[in-house]
Amino acid sequence: MGTVLWLVGLAVAAAVAAGLIWVFRDRAGGLDQRLRAAEQASRWRFLQQRWESEPMARLATVEQVHALTQNGGCQVRIVWTDNYHAEDVEIEHDQADAGDYLLLRGVGPLGSITREELLAHAGADAPEWAQRGR
C-alpha cells in the first residue's frame, strides 16, 4: 500500500510541476513579447530623431528596401541603421536584421524614392503613435 501511495504522490508532484512549467512558459512568452515591443518602439523613436536631423532621408525596413531595389530598379544608399552603419547600395546579410529600421537616401538612376512611397509602406510597420508625430 505504501508503494501505491508513493507512486500516486509522485504522479501528483509531476503533474503540479508540469502545470507550473506551463504557466511560467506562458507568462515568460508574454513578457518576452512586451519587451520586444518596447525595444522596437524605443528604436523607432531614436530612428525618428535621426530621421528628422538627416535632410532628404527616407525611412524603411530591410524587407522594404529589398522590395524596392528588386521591383523598381531603384538603388538606395543606407545612411544609418539601428545596429550597423553602412553606405552600401545593397544590404548584405550581416549588415542589418529583418526587423531593423533603415534611414536611406535614393541614389539610383531612376530617381529618388519618394517620401510618400516609403511612408506608405513604413507606416504599416511603425508604431501608430510614432507615425502621427512625423
- Overall average pLDDT of the 108-123 stretch: 46
* Model confidence, pTM: 0.32
Q: Percentage of the chain with pLDDT > 70?
A: 30
Query: In this structure, how many other beta carbons lie within 10 angstroms of the beta carbon of residue 110?
Result: 10
